[in-house]
């Protein structure tokens, strides 16, 4: 075929077949046509380049012995030395384990709570009750963590409402918000307070998209309330559950920063240290240096990337759409 093409020059091409051929326009022609769109996209691209891709490129210092006091190219490459040091650091592994613990907690306890709330809400027929309940439960989603922690200390802290109330009955002072042993429970309660209602909203939207005639058909076939839930409702929200699950798994090492940093002083670093606070306290506040902090962050980013790709792959295997299509 190659020889055939090379022997026939384009000018000698016999009359082309009579079909509408979209002429491939040159880049210059398209540029003349599309330049306003490129101008519109430019600010966003510039922003991403400066605040996303440039810092991403800076991750290379995780493999260098970087010092800001010498020219960039004079920093020697040290391979994985910083990662070795990271894994040998006595504070890193506990921080990693704490992160995984909180992520697992989030996955196991927050999802079912949100789904249960959504199912309970969905079975309420009165629109008034629904909208009142809905507006109460997802308001805290818009609160900052500072606010949430302040409110928790005010209610459950040593001088808080419940503590005062207990002492009024001759009980003991509560130290729930400063107790390292129950910190996991506290974190879960704060999550539930802040975000369970928000999760509920997302599932409610998914529930609303289920065709109601399915329920009617099942009911006339004799399926009771629970069977309808099992065979129609849950399969109906399966794609959304899987989508959120993938996103959760991808963010498994990003359990947040503020919630832990805010309670670090009261609870102590042993229970509150997660990867983000570790990076902050070791290398931004502390003296571990640029390369060390970058290596810790890169570790987190790469694991997150791998997890999200794997989770998406599994979702495809399960016949779900996942976050992006196979291409």
Partner 1 sequence: MTAIDTKPKRRNRNRPVWDEEPSLGGKAVKALFMICYAAAIALPLWAVLATSLASEEALSRAGGNLLILPTEVSFQAYTEIFSGGALTDSLVLTTVLTIGGTAISMVLTICGAYALSRTGSLWHRPILWAILLTFLFGPGMYPSFLVVQKLGLFNSYWSLILPGAVGTFNIIILRAFFMNSIPGELIDAAKIDGAGEFRTLLTIVLPMSKAILAVIALFYAVGYWNIYFSAVLYTPGLDTQPIQVVLQRMLMSTQGLPEGASAAAQYQDQGAAAPTAALKMAVVVCTIVPIVLMYPFIQKHFTKAVITGAIKG
Residue from 83, 91, 111, 269 touching partner 1 (CB under 8 A): that is 269
Among 136, 185, 234, 310, binds partner 1 (CB under 8 A): 136
Integer CA distances (angstroms), 130 to 133, 212, 216, 255, 260, in order: 5, 18, 22, 31, 33
Contact letters (x/-) for partner 1, 63-102, by CB under 8 A? ----------------------------------------
Q: What dihedral angle (degrees, nearest 10) is formed by the CA atoms of 166, 170, 176, 180?
A: -170
Q: What tokens appear for 29 in the block?
A: 């022609």
Structure tokens at 210: 């289920």
Report the distance separating Cα 208 and Cα 205, nearest Å.
5
Which residue among 48, 97, 234, 310 contacts partner 1 (CB under 8 A)? 48
Q: Is 199 in the site for partner 1 (CB under 8 A)?
A: no
- Minimum CB separation from partner 1 for residue 115, in Å? 14
Reduce the DSSP state of residue 77 to 3 states and report it: strand
Cβ–Cβ under 8 Å, residues 311 and 245: yes
Q: Indicate the residue among 106 and 262 with the shorter CB distance to partner 1.
A: 262
Options 1, 2, 4, 40; binder of partner 1; rule CB under 8 A = 40
- Cβ atoms < 10 Å from Cβ of 7: 8
Task: Tell me which of 78, 143, 184, 210 binds partner 1, using CB under 8 A.
Answer: 143
Structure tokens at 2: 């190659």
User: Which of the 8 DSSP states describes residue 157?
Assistant: S
Total residues in contact with partner 1, by rule CB under 8 A: 110
Residues in 160-179 at the binding interface with partner 1, rule: CB under 8 A: 160-161, 164, 167-168, 177-178
Least CB distance to partner 1 at residue 152 (A): 8
Sort residue 173 into left (φ over 0), alpha (ψ -120 to 50) or beta: beta
Per CB under 8 A, 150 contacts partner 1: yes
Nearest residue (CB) to partner 1, 8 versus 159: 159
Comparison of 106 and 137: residue with beta carbon closer to partner 1: 137
């Amino acid at each position: 075929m190659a020889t055939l093409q090379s022997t026939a020059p384009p000018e000698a091409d016999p009359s082309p077949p009579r079909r509408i051929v979209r002429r491939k326009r040159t880049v210059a022609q398209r540029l003349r046509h599309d330049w306003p769109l490129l101008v519109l996209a430019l600010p966003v691209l510039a922003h991403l380049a400066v605040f996303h891709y440039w810092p991403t490129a800076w991750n290379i210092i995780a493999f260098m012995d970087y010092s800001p006091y010498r020219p960039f190219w004079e920093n020697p490459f040290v391979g994985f030395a910083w990662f070795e040091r990271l894994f040998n650091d006595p504070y890193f592994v506990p921080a990693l384990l704490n992160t995984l613990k909180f992520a697992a907690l989030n996955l196991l306890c927050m999802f079912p709570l949100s789904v249960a709330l959504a199912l309970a809400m969905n079975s309420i027929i009165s629109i008034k009750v629904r909208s009142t309940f809905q507006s109460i439960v997802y308001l805290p989603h818009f609160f900052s963590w500072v606010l949430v922690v302040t409110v928790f200390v005010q209610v459950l802290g040593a001088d808080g409402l419940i503590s005062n109330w207990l002492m009024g009955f001759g009980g003991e002072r509560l130290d729930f918000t400063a107790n390292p042993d129950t910190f996991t429970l506290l974190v879960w309660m704060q999550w539930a307070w802040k975000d369970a209602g928000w999760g509920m909203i997302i599932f409610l939207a998914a529930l609303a998209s289920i065709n109601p005639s399915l329920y009617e058909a099942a009911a006339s076939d004799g399926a009771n309330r629970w069977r309808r839930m099992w065979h129609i409702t849950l399969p109906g929200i399966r794609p959304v559950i899987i989508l959120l699950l993938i996103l959760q798994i991808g963010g498994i090492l990003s359990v947040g920063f503020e919630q832990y940093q805010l309670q670090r002083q009261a609870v102590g670093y042993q229970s509150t240290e997660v990867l983000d606070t570790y990076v902050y306290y070791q290398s931004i506040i502390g003296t571990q240096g640029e390369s060390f902090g970058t290596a810790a962050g890169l570790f987190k980013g790469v694991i997150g990337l791998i997890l999200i790709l794997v989770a998406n792959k599994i979702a495809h295997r399960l016949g779900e759409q996942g976050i992006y299509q196979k291409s």
